Amino acid sequence: IEQSAYQNDKLAMLGKIAAAIAHEIRNPLTSIRGFIQLLRPHLVQLGKEEYAKIVIDEIDRANEIIYEFLNSSKPSTPDKQDIHVAPLLKEVKLLFESEAILKGCDIELAEIDPALTVCVDTKQMKQALLNIIQNALDAIGGTVCQERGMIRISATGQASQVIISVQDNGSGMDFHTQSKLFDPFFTTKLDGTGLGLAVCYRIIKNHGGHIQVDSDIGLGTRFKITLPLC
Protein backbone atom coordinates (compact mmCIF):
# COMPACT_ATOMS: atom_id res chain seq x y z
CA ILE A 1 0.00 0.00 0.00
CA GLU A 2 1.63 3.21 -1.13
CA GLN A 3 1.09 6.78 -0.03
CA SER A 4 0.37 9.48 -2.56
CA ALA A 5 1.92 12.91 -2.98
CA TYR A 6 -1.35 14.36 -1.70
CA GLN A 7 -0.75 12.72 1.66
CA ASN A 8 2.75 14.19 1.80
CA ASP A 9 1.20 17.62 1.14
CA LYS A 10 -1.00 17.11 4.19
CA LEU A 11 2.08 16.41 6.31
CA ALA A 12 3.84 19.45 4.89
CA MET A 13 0.80 21.51 5.82
CA LEU A 14 0.87 20.10 9.32
CA GLY A 15 4.52 21.16 9.56
CA LYS A 16 3.53 24.71 8.64
CA ILE A 17 0.67 24.79 11.13
CA ALA A 18 2.98 23.42 13.84
CA ALA A 19 5.55 26.11 13.06
CA ALA A 20 2.92 28.86 13.19
CA ILE A 21 1.43 27.64 16.48
CA ALA A 22 4.86 27.12 18.02
CA HIS A 23 5.80 30.67 17.09
CA GLU A 24 2.59 32.09 18.56
CA ILE A 25 3.00 30.15 21.81
CA ARG A 26 6.70 30.83 22.19
CA ASN A 27 6.28 34.60 22.23
CA PRO A 28 3.97 34.78 25.26
CA LEU A 29 6.08 32.12 26.99
CA THR A 30 9.19 34.24 26.53
CA SER A 31 7.42 37.24 27.95
CA ILE A 32 6.08 35.28 30.96
CA ARG A 33 9.61 33.97 31.57
CA GLY A 34 11.01 37.50 31.47
CA PHE A 35 8.45 38.92 33.91
CA ILE A 36 8.81 36.12 36.38
CA GLN A 37 12.54 36.80 36.43
CA LEU A 38 11.80 40.45 37.18
CA LEU A 39 9.52 39.34 40.02
CA ARG A 40 12.11 37.00 41.47
CA PRO A 41 13.61 39.45 44.02
CA HIS A 42 10.11 40.14 45.38
CA LEU A 43 9.40 36.43 45.65
CA VAL A 44 12.74 35.98 47.45
CA GLN A 45 11.66 38.66 49.96
CA LEU A 46 8.43 36.76 50.52
CA GLY A 47 10.36 33.53 51.00
CA LYS A 48 8.71 32.11 47.86
CA GLU A 49 11.71 31.84 45.58
CA GLU A 50 10.85 28.24 44.73
CA TYR A 51 7.66 29.45 43.01
CA ALA A 52 9.77 31.36 40.49
CA LYS A 53 11.87 28.28 39.89
CA ILE A 54 8.78 26.15 39.23
CA VAL A 55 7.35 28.65 36.77
CA ILE A 56 10.64 28.96 34.88
CA ASP A 57 11.21 25.19 34.81
CA GLU A 58 7.69 24.62 33.51
CA ILE A 59 8.08 27.28 30.83
CA ASP A 60 11.32 25.65 29.74
CA ARG A 61 9.58 22.30 29.61
CA ALA A 62 6.75 23.70 27.49
CA ASN A 63 9.35 25.19 25.14
CA GLU A 64 11.08 21.84 24.85
CA ILE A 65 7.80 20.11 24.01
CA ILE A 66 7.12 22.69 21.30
CA TYR A 67 10.62 22.21 19.94
CA GLU A 68 10.21 18.41 19.85
CA PHE A 69 6.80 18.71 18.20
CA LEU A 70 8.16 21.07 15.57
CA ASN A 71 11.03 18.73 14.85
CA SER A 72 8.82 15.69 14.51
CA SER A 73 6.47 17.35 12.03
CA LYS A 74 9.13 19.18 10.03
CA PRO A 75 10.46 17.35 7.02
CA SER A 76 14.21 17.32 7.37
CA THR A 77 16.79 15.75 5.12
CA PRO A 78 18.20 12.75 6.91
CA ASP A 79 21.71 13.11 8.27
CA LYS A 80 22.75 9.62 7.20
CA GLN A 81 25.48 7.57 8.77
CA ASP A 82 26.52 3.98 8.44
CA ILE A 83 25.41 2.27 11.65
CA HIS A 84 25.06 -1.29 12.88
CA VAL A 85 21.51 -2.59 12.85
CA ALA A 86 21.75 -4.91 15.87
CA PRO A 87 22.49 -2.23 18.55
CA LEU A 88 19.91 0.12 17.01
CA LEU A 89 17.14 -2.46 17.36
CA LYS A 90 18.37 -3.47 20.80
CA GLU A 91 18.12 0.11 21.99
CA VAL A 92 14.65 0.56 20.53
CA LYS A 93 13.49 -2.68 22.15
CA LEU A 94 14.87 -1.56 25.51
CA LEU A 95 12.75 1.59 25.43
CA PHE A 96 9.59 -0.52 25.46
CA GLU A 97 10.70 -3.00 28.08
CA SER A 98 8.71 -1.50 30.96
CA GLU A 99 5.52 -1.01 28.95
CA ALA A 100 5.78 -4.56 27.63
CA ILE A 101 6.18 -5.95 31.16
CA LEU A 102 3.15 -3.96 32.34
CA LYS A 103 1.10 -5.34 29.46
CA GLY A 104 2.33 -8.88 29.93
CA CYS A 105 3.72 -8.87 26.42
CA ASP A 106 7.01 -10.25 25.09
CA ILE A 107 9.23 -8.32 22.73
CA GLU A 108 11.54 -10.69 20.95
CA LEU A 109 14.57 -9.52 19.03
CA ALA A 110 15.80 -12.09 16.53
CA GLU A 111 19.47 -12.85 16.19
CA ILE A 112 20.90 -10.22 13.88
CA ASP A 113 24.14 -10.47 11.94
CA PRO A 114 26.47 -8.21 13.99
CA ALA A 115 28.09 -7.07 10.75
CA LEU A 116 24.81 -5.86 9.26
CA THR A 117 24.88 -2.10 8.75
CA VAL A 118 22.45 0.40 7.33
CA CYS A 119 22.88 3.99 6.23
CA VAL A 120 20.35 6.04 8.19
CA ASP A 121 19.72 9.12 10.27
CA THR A 122 19.75 7.33 13.65
CA LYS A 123 17.37 9.73 15.37
CA GLN A 124 14.82 9.61 12.56
CA MET A 125 15.01 5.85 12.13
CA LYS A 126 14.59 5.37 15.88
CA GLN A 127 11.52 7.58 15.74
CA ALA A 128 10.05 5.53 12.87
CA LEU A 129 10.64 2.24 14.69
CA LEU A 130 9.25 3.61 17.95
CA ASN A 131 6.03 4.60 16.20
CA ILE A 132 5.63 1.13 14.70
CA ILE A 133 6.36 -0.72 17.94
CA GLN A 134 4.09 1.58 19.96
CA ASN A 135 1.27 0.72 17.55
CA ALA A 136 2.02 -2.99 17.92
CA LEU A 137 1.78 -2.66 21.71
CA ASP A 138 -1.49 -0.73 21.36
CA ALA A 139 -2.87 -3.41 19.05
CA ILE A 140 -1.97 -6.09 21.57
CA GLY A 141 -3.51 -4.09 24.40
CA GLY A 142 -6.77 -3.98 22.50
CA THR A 143 -6.85 -7.59 21.45
CA VAL A 144 -9.66 -9.84 22.64
CA CYS A 145 -7.91 -13.16 22.22
CA GLN A 146 -6.29 -14.92 25.18
CA GLU A 147 -2.94 -15.51 23.51
CA ARG A 148 0.07 -13.86 25.15
CA GLY A 149 1.09 -10.66 23.40
CA MET A 150 4.19 -11.01 21.26
CA ILE A 151 6.17 -8.59 19.15
CA ARG A 152 8.97 -9.95 16.98
CA ILE A 153 11.62 -7.67 15.60
CA SER A 154 14.09 -8.95 13.03
CA ALA A 155 16.47 -7.68 10.39
CA THR A 156 18.21 -9.26 7.44
CA GLY A 157 20.49 -8.07 4.69
CA GLN A 158 19.56 -8.98 1.16
CA ALA A 159 21.64 -8.05 -1.88
CA SER A 160 21.65 -4.24 -1.75
CA GLN A 161 19.07 -3.75 0.95
CA VAL A 162 18.27 -4.24 4.61
CA ILE A 163 14.85 -5.49 5.62
CA ILE A 164 13.57 -4.75 9.12
CA SER A 165 10.41 -6.49 10.18
CA VAL A 166 8.12 -5.85 13.15
CA GLN A 167 5.43 -8.44 13.69
CA ASP A 168 2.71 -8.53 16.33
CA ASN A 169 -0.10 -10.87 17.24
CA GLY A 170 -2.46 -8.01 18.12
CA SER A 171 -5.88 -7.08 16.83
CA GLY A 172 -4.92 -6.88 13.15
CA MET A 173 -6.63 -4.46 10.76
CA ASP A 174 -9.49 -4.58 8.32
CA PHE A 175 -8.91 -3.59 4.73
CA HIS A 176 -10.24 -0.05 5.18
CA THR A 177 -7.73 0.63 7.99
CA GLN A 178 -4.92 -0.92 5.95
CA SER A 179 -5.64 1.36 3.05
CA LYS A 180 -5.67 4.48 5.25
CA LEU A 181 -3.07 3.87 7.92
CA PHE A 182 -0.32 6.02 6.40
CA ASP A 183 -2.69 8.98 5.96
CA PRO A 184 -1.88 11.89 8.27
CA PHE A 185 -4.62 12.18 10.92
CA PHE A 186 -6.08 8.74 10.23
CA THR A 187 -6.62 6.99 13.55
CA THR A 188 -8.97 4.40 15.02
CA LYS A 189 -7.90 5.23 18.58
CA LEU A 190 -9.83 7.47 20.93
CA ASP A 191 -6.67 9.33 21.91
CA GLY A 192 -4.73 8.84 18.67
CA THR A 193 -3.27 11.63 16.54
CA GLY A 194 -3.01 9.58 13.38
CA LEU A 195 0.48 10.98 12.81
CA GLY A 196 2.71 8.10 13.88
CA LEU A 197 2.70 6.13 10.66
CA ALA A 198 2.49 9.20 8.41
CA VAL A 199 5.72 10.47 9.97
CA CYS A 200 7.18 6.98 9.78
CA TYR A 201 6.31 6.74 6.10
CA ARG A 202 7.94 10.06 5.32
CA ILE A 203 11.11 9.18 7.20
CA ILE A 204 11.48 5.91 5.33
CA LYS A 205 10.74 7.53 1.95
CA ASN A 206 13.34 10.22 2.70
CA HIS A 207 15.83 7.42 3.18
CA GLY A 208 14.99 6.00 -0.23
CA GLY A 209 13.26 3.01 1.36
CA HIS A 210 9.73 1.72 1.53
CA ILE A 211 7.32 0.27 4.06
CA GLN A 212 4.77 -2.47 3.55
CA VAL A 213 2.08 -3.88 5.78
CA ASP A 214 0.45 -7.29 6.01
CA SER A 215 -2.39 -7.71 8.42
CA ASP A 216 -5.14 -10.13 9.32
CA ILE A 217 -7.98 -9.34 11.66
CA GLY A 218 -7.58 -11.28 14.89
CA LEU A 219 -4.16 -12.63 13.91
CA GLY A 220 -1.88 -9.65 13.84
CA THR A 221 0.19 -7.35 11.71
CA ARG A 222 3.61 -7.29 10.13
CA PHE A 223 5.42 -4.14 9.01
CA LYS A 224 8.31 -4.60 6.63
CA ILE A 225 10.75 -1.74 6.15
CA THR A 226 13.14 -1.96 3.24
CA LEU A 227 16.17 0.34 3.25
CA PRO A 228 18.86 0.62 0.62
CA LEU A 229 22.45 -0.03 1.65
CA CYS A 230 24.82 2.93 1.52
Given the rule CB under 6 A, which residues bind ligand ADP?
131, 135-136, 139, 168, 170-171, 173, 177, 181, 186-189, 192-198, 221
Cβ of residue 75: shortest distance to ligand ADP, in angstroms?
A: 16
Nearer to ligand ADP, 76 or 177 (CB): 177
Nearer to ligand ADP, 55 or 202 (CB): 202
Which pairing describes strands 161-168 and 149-158: parallel, antiparallel, or unpaired?
A: antiparallel
Cβ of residue 32: shortest distance to ligand ADP, in angstroms?
A: 31
Residues 31, 48: Cα–Cα separation, whole Å: 21
Residues 20, 73: Cα–Cα separation, whole Å: 12
DSSP 227: E
Nearer to ligand ADP, 117 or 143 (CB): 143
Nearer to ligand ADP, 48 or 106 (CB): 106
Residues 28, 22: Cα–Cα separation, whole Å: 11
CA distances from 74 to 5, 14, 136, 193, 203 (A): 16, 8, 25, 16, 11
Closest CA to 121 of 168, 72, 161, 83: 83
Cβ of residue 36: shortest distance to ligand ADP, in angstroms?
A: 35
Angle between helices 5-45 and 49-73 (to 10 degrees): 170
Nearer to ligand ADP, 112 or 151 (CB): 151
Nearer to ligand ADP, 81 or 193 (CB): 193
Nearer to ligand ADP, 196 or 209 (CB): 196
Cβ of residue 205: shortest distance to ligand ADP, in angstroms?
A: 15
Q: Which residues of 146-179 are buried (b: 16+ CB within 10 A; e: fewer)?
A: eeebbbbbbbebeeebbebbbbbbbbbbeeebee
Cβ of residue 81: shortest distance to ligand ADP, in angstroms?
A: 26
Cβ of residue 115: shortest distance to ligand ADP, in angstroms?
A: 29
> What is the number of the residue whose Cβ is closest to ligand ADP?
196
| Three-state SS at 74 | coil
Cβ of residue 133: shortest distance to ligand ADP, in angstroms?
A: 9
